[in-house]
């Protein structure tokens, strides 16, 4: 079997890698090629384009880079034709991958979409696109199955792959000592994994660290950026690279940029404040298009406010201090978040998502 896989960001690379490991078990002669990162490469995928080159966020940022994006699409189409896979597997990254799905289906390729585009948040037209051009949709949240099936889409709920990833994690009992951390409270700062994202979020986080003397502030860094990229913002924090799960395993609370990390933080049972800010142009467009009440995965899964979301203007130093102090020092607030986390874990509690997804692809 031959698979071409396209993942456009860090979390997609991780989940695609676990899926590819399961697909490789199915056949000794499996061939895998695609776009992704180091984890997919370690799983046996020949990487033709690294996801870091694809990290465009927000409407304005996409518009500015349209020529580059169309160039990437043209390149991907040529590579897929040259490889001639049995199945094209698209992982998240909807703006790019849905265009690729439409083209690939018209070329006669079987198309699988893993980790569904958030059509339930944006617009139903995306669901119509999926119905026309995707043979199999593999979703990771229970509520997505009913939504997409309304549109006649061949949909399977396979479980959430974060469970698989966290299940593999082994706690390092020496992590605090190795990184110079003491028994004082630890607050994890998760500004994101993409350059534009970090640049928009980290300055306020850095300012926050100057407000408290008895807290250890630790930024979850990613090694695609050097130390200077983080320390230019000032602040009283350490940066620990590529050890987010280790950091969450010892953190007392966290300030987290909205995205996959909010759910990871919940699964590690760390009380958190969710924050997000983008360009005003992108925000004004999104505000008119987004049809959901919450942006964090934690609240979306719970279908209610479990964690406080500070978005755009609400993401201020004063508001962040106020909400962080609640999850750090107010036992009632902390305990309520942790109790709600347990409910989320039960809701998502299907294990072996990667194995389940691989089995569904093989059936196809």
Structural domains of the chain, ranges and CATH numbers in brackets: 2-160+351-363 (3.40.50.2000), 175-347 (3.40.50.2000)
Reported confidence tier of residue 278, pLDDT bands at 50, 70, 90: confident
Q: Residue 94: what pLDDT?
A: 87
Alpha-carbon distance values, 7 to 36, 50, 112, 215, 361 (Å): 5, 9, 13, 37, 17
Please compute the mean of the pLDDT values over residues 92-111 and round it to a whole number. 94
- Structure-token pair, residue 122: 């944006």
Torsion of CA 222, 226, 229, 233, to 10 degrees: 80
Please give the angle made by the CA atoms of 224, 164 and 271, to the nearest 5 degrees: 75
Reported confidence tier of residue 95, pLDDT bands at 50, 70, 90: confident
Q: Rounded to an integer, what distance in angstroms lies between the CA atom of residue 12 and that of residue 18?
A: 10
Sheet containing 110-114: which strands, arranged edge to edge? Answer: 46-50, 31-36, 2-7, 87-91, 110-114, 136-139, 155-157
Q: Residue 60: what pLDDT?
A: 47
Q: Which of 258-262, 327-331, 350-354 has the lowest mean pLDDT?
A: 350-354
pTM for the model stands at: 0.83
Contacts of residue 176, Cβ cutoff 8 Å, sequence gap at least 6: 182, 250
Q: Which residues partner with 49 through β-bridges?
A: 35
Average pLDDT, the chain: 90
Q: Rounded to an integer, what distance in angstroms lies between the CA atom of residue 87 and that of residue 227?
A: 40
Q: Which residues partner with 341 through β-bridges?
A: none
Q: Residue 123: what pLDDT?
A: 61
* 3 state DSSP class of 364: coil
Residue positions counted in the chain: 364
């Amino acid at each position: 079997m031959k698979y071409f896989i396209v993942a456009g960001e860090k979390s997609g690379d991780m989940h695609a890698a676990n899926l590819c490991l399961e697909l490789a078990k199915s056949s000794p002669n499996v061939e895998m090629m695609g776009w992704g990162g180091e984890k997919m490469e370690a799983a046996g995928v020949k990487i033709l384009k690294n996801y870091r080159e694809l990290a465009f966020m927000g409407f304005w940022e996409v518009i500015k880079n349209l020529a580059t994006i169309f160039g990437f699409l043209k390149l991907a189409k040529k590579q897929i034709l040259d490889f001639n896979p049995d199945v094209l597997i698209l992982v998240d990254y909807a703006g790019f991958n849905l265009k690729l799905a439409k083209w690939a289906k018209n070329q006669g390729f079987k198309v699988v979409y893993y980790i569904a585009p958030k059509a339930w948040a944006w617009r139903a037209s995306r669901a119509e696109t999926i119905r026309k051009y995707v043979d199999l949709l593999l979703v990771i949240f229970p509520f997505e199955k009913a939504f997409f099936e309304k549109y006649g889409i061949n949909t399977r709920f396979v479980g959430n792959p974060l469970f698989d990833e966290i299940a593999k994690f082994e706690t390092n009992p020496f992590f605090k000592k190795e990184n110079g951390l003491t028994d004082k409270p630890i607050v994890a700062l998760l500004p994101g994994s993409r350059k534009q994202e970090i640049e928009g979020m980290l300055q306020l986080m850095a300012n926050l660290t100057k407000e408290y003397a008895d807290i250890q502030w630790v930024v979850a860094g990613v090694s695609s950026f050097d130390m200077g990229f983080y320390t230019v913002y000032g602040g009283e924090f350490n940066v620990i690279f590529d050890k987010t799960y280790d950091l969450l395993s010892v953190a007392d609370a966290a300030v987290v940029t909205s995205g996959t990390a909010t759910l990871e933080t919940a699964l590690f049972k760390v009380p958190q404040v969710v924050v997000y800010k983008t360009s005003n142009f992108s925000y004004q467009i999104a505000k008119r298009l987004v049809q959901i009440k919450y942006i964090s995965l934690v609240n979306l899964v719970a279908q209610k406010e479990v964690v406080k979301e500070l978005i755009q203007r609400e993401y201020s130093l004063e508001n962040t201090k106020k909400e962080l102090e609640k999850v750090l020092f107010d036992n009632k607030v902390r305990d309520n978040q942790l109790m709600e986390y347990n409910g989320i874990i039960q809701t998502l509690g299907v294990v072996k998502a990667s194995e389940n997804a691989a089995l569904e692809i093989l059936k196809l």
